[in-house]
Chain A
């Protein structure tokens, strides 16, 4: 079983739709969680960190469920510019932050 698993998609949605991605992780000691965005043939960039209480940044909402060991990303009012691959990232090393494990990514395509 992979340490971090994501539905690869692609998710094809119309502009204005709401779409949600889930990600599961296997290491119960995981302490910090992130969503990164990667555009085609570009480097990943941090979209948002995921906090225990859940957090929101504009149209994006991230939630963490420690009991079930999954995190989610909700995108409301999708824009064409949201088309990208979304990477779930889990850090299992709380002391030094040395163990970032990346999911394979979920592809989102927003169409007009």
Chain B
């Protein structure tokens, strides 16, 4: 069981470039989400999805797009990278419902110069 996988682990972008962070889970979880983690700020929710074809915005969605065509995959797209998007990005999945454990991927460290 791979759990939640993310690629790449590290990425350096120049301002204005676009890219897609990949996330996949093999636990058949309906709920998936993307967070960014910055020093002193904790994890902040970017976008989430409660099932294939359904996505919604979290706390900090600007500059990011998501789609959910399958239960397994939940890619995050940076449309035009900015230095303010330098962060560590975590993808997570869980069983829908308030009590389920959330499983995180290993993270992607993104630097935008």
Contacts and interface: CB of A to CB of B under 8 A. Distances in A.
Task: Verify that A and B bind, or say they do not.
Answer: yes
Contacts of B45: 100
Interface residues of A, number: 24
B97 A46 contact: no
A2 to B, nearest CB: 8
A104 B39 CA distance: 8
B110 interface: no
Contacts of B100: 97
B99 A97 contact: yes
Interface string A18-52: 00000000000001100000000111111001000
Interface residues of B, number: 25
A45 B42 contact: no
Interface string B45-87: 1001010000010000000000000000000000000000000
Contact of B96 (A32, A87, A96): A96
23 contacts: A4-B42, A32-B98, A42-B106, A42-B107, A43-B104, A43-B105, A44-B43, A45-B104, A46-B102, A49-B101, A87-B43, A95-B98, A96-B96, A96-B98, A97-B31, A97-B97, A97-B98, A97-B99, A98-B31, A98-B56, A100-B102, A102-B43, A104-B40
Interface of A: 4, 8, 31-32, 41-46, 49, 87, 91, 93-98, 100, 102-105
